Structure 1
Amino acid sequence: MTARRIAAATHWLGGCMQAMASDGPVHYHVSAYLISGSAHTVLIDTGDPRHWPLIEAQLDEALAGRPLDYLLPTHPELPHAGNLPALLARYPGAEVVGDVRDYHLHYPEYSHRLRPLAPGERLDLGDRQLELAEAYIQDLPNTVWAYDPGDRVLYVSDGFSFVHDVPALPSMGDDEPGHRPGECRLLSTEMPAAPTVDQAAYGTGRALYWTRYVDVTDTFGKIGEFLATRPADLIAPAHGNVIADVPRMMKTALAAHRQVYDAYTSA
């Protein structure tokens, strides 16, 4: 998969992983996103280390000779920060920004390249100011989101995650799932069918264990308030197709969280 430009200054990078659901295999993205401002570039999340050769090639393509200036892992978990050592070695001028409170423990050799940024603070990219935002849906305590007002994209880490089905290719047996061409790099509006509540609930219940015990109705109200002042044309999750139909997917994601919560509180 090559890097896909999804907005004027934004490329979608990364690869896909396979998991087994009760009715067969499904795929889920492990995505990273490159924003190329007029003065500086930033990579949001790093992708999974298993995808490093792919991400390295995608970055070469998307950067087109420019340096990578900033790395913003949304939290220190393998799919989000696992490629930091490789990226910092390849781009010696890059800094790690965000909630970096414990990254010096993971990567002590790079402690001098950590730059704390808190929600509400901005990263100057030249023609745009990338705003760090509170992670309304968290995986770890130092999870952060980000908002790009230039391309109107909200980066939500493990929020709004969903899997997608893997159809069998005509040349393969039913027990050998494969991708249709380009299926793993589609906007939500380009999928053969809109993501379902079940697909969103599958990812939510596994990636965010706490959602089994928390009613997030008020949380989605806060996300709606955030979007009212920072409108987003795209929502970019780490583990799902990029969302281009934001109002509909807000409803789907909330319904998925409720489904997970109801299933475990009623058990």
Structure 2
Amino acid sequence: MPRDDVRQIADGVWWLGGCLQAATSSGPVHYHVSTYLVVGEESAILIDSGDPAHEAAVLRGVAAVLGDRPLDYVFPTHPEIPHAGNVVALVRRYPGLRIVGDVRDYHLHWPLLVDRLVPMQAGDVLDLGGRNIEIHPAYIRDLHNTLWAFDSVSRMLFVSDGFAFIHETPFDELEDDEPIHRDDECLLTSSEFAKAVSVDAAAYGAGRSLYWTRFVDVSAAFDDIERLVVERDVRLVGPAHGAVIDDVSQGLRVAIGAHRKVFREGSGAMAPIGSGAAHA
């Protein structure tokens, strides 16, 4: 992640982008591992902590935004490496840091940090001073204790593994060894790409990062997501594994189409999920 890989995406919200490259049978995949810093009048929170490969850049980015202010909270949307991998490094840098979220099993991951754990659940609100972070169910999720968050000022919804997408054409349309997205595209929003995000590109990401979606119809979960978008007047969506989505209606259409494609082409099926969070 380059030194300038921080972008203010809204009033009081900074996107600490970061990308990793993974080898696949089809070639290298260049994909986002994003974190988001939300700064209120009194407190600041980092939503997801990023991959350990980005430790130095995450710490540098947070310090560049906060200056002498402390980081008060980190909210790993769930305890998986791309989302929680820099928690210990952040605690070392910011001794007063508190770890918030569904922390039911975090004592197993960080037994020396149990005094910093602040349990939160869907419906809870964290006051940062002049803005609130609302905790919401993760309607599309990886682990059972995944949660989403919403910022009351920017109207930005942070969706963890939801809305994942790769913003280039499928592998068979690329030149040999060309990454799925290019180095200069890592901090572009969805509307800034030269080519609009396709259902195929989103399906490629969703079907691999959330393998269970091949076997589960998540249509009802998207009913809940659309209702949340309308009720909270969501204007930006911040996925961990995708660029910031600044055309929310289009992002929803692509995400729904992607999951329908993944399910349609999957090797099995289960009954549609009812209202509430979709899960494996």
Does the alignment reach a TM-score above 0.5?
Answer: yes
Distance in 1 between residues matched to 2:95 and 2:161, nearest whole Å: 28
Alpha carbons of structure 1 residues 175 and 223: separation in structure 2 relative to 1, 3 Å: closer
Contiguous gaps of at least 5 residues in structure 1: 167-172
State the shift of 1:21 in Å. Answer: 6.1
Alpha carbons of structure 1 residues 215 and 177: separation in structure 2 relative to 1, 3 Å: closer
User: Residues 137 and 158 of structure 1 are in contact (CA less than 8 Å); yes or no, is this contact kept in structure 2?
Assistant: yes
State the shift of 1:55 in Å. Answer: 1.0
Residue 169 of structure 1 corresponds to: none
State the shift of 1:28 in Å. Answer: 1.1
Alpha carbons of structure 1 residues 263 and 174: separation in structure 2 relative to 1, 3 Å: closer
**Aligned partner (choices 19, 23, 29) of residue 32 of structure 2:** 29
Distance in 1 between residues matched to 2:86 and 2:155, nearest whole Å: 26
Overall identity of the aligned pairs, in %: 52
Q: Deviations over 1:204-247 (max 9, x none)?
A: 11111110111111111111111111011100000001000100
Distance in 1 between residues matched to 2:77 and 2:180, nearest whole Å: 30
Residue 170 of structure 1 corresponds to: none
User: Residues 27 and 164 of structure 1 are in contact (CA less than 8 Å); yes or no, is this contact kept in structure 2?
Assistant: no
State the shift of 1:46 in Å. Answer: 0.3
Contiguous gaps of at least 5 residues in structure 2: 170-174, 270-280
**Aligned partner (choices 195, 198, 208) of residue 210 of structure 2:** 208
Q: Which deviates more, 219-228 or 72-81?
A: 219-228
What does 1:145-160 correspond to in 2, within 5 Å? 145-160=148-163
Residue 254 of structure 2 corresponds to: 252
**Aligned partner (choices 8, 25, 45) of residue 48 of structure 2:** 45
State the shift of 1:23 in Å. Answer: 5.8
Q: How well do the aligned residues superpose, as a CA RMSD in angstroms?
A: 1.9
Residue 274 of structure 2 corresponds to: none
Distance in 1 between residues matched to 2:117 and 2:182, nearest whole Å: 40
Alpha carbons of structure 1 residues 21 and 64: separation in structure 2 relative to 1, 3 Å: same
User: Residues 31 and 180 of structure 2 are in contact (CA less than 8 Å); yes or no, is this contact kept in structure 1?
Assistant: no
Q: Deviations over 1:83-112 (max 9, x none)?
A: 111111111011000100000110000000
3-state SS of 1:165 partner: coil
Residue 186 of structure 1 corresponds to: 188
**Aligned partner (choices 100, 104, 116) of residue 101 of structure 1:** 104
Residue 78 of structure 1 corresponds to: 81
Structure 2-normalised TM-score? 0.88
User: Residues 168 and 195 of structure 2 are in contact (CA less than 8 Å); yes or no, is this contact kept in structure 1?
Assistant: no
Distance in 1 between residues matched to 2:140 and 2:183, nearest whole Å: 32
Distance in 1 between residues matched to 2:222 and 2:89, nearest whole Å: 36
User: Residues 204 and 257 of structure 1 are in contact (CA less than 8 Å); yes or no, is this contact kept in structure 2?
Assistant: yes
Matched, 1:90 2:93: yes
State the shift of 1:26 in Å. Answer: 3.3
- 2:244 is matched by which residue type in structure 1? V
Distance in 2 between residues matched to 1:165 and 1:19, nearest whole Å: 16
**Aligned partner (choices 12, 18, 23) of residue 21 of structure 2:** 18
Structure 1-normalised TM-score? 0.92
User: Residues 25 and 165 of structure 1 are in contact (CA less than 8 Å); yes or no, is this contact kept in structure 2?
Assistant: no
Q: Deviations over 1:156-192 (max 9, x none)?
A: 00000012339xxxxxx95465975631111000011
Residue 126 of structure 1 corresponds to: 129
Distance in 2 between residues matched to 1:181 and 1:202, nearest whole Å: 19
Distance in 1 between residues matched to 2:178 and 2:214, nearest whole Å: 32
State the shift of 1:14 in Å. Answer: 3.6
Alpha carbons of structure 1 residues 128 and 19: separation in structure 2 relative to 1, 3 Å: same
State the shift of 1:194 in Å. Answer: 1.1
- 2:211 is matched by which residue type in structure 1? Y
Q: Deviations over 1:50-90 (max 9, x none)?
A: 11111111111111221100000000000000111111111
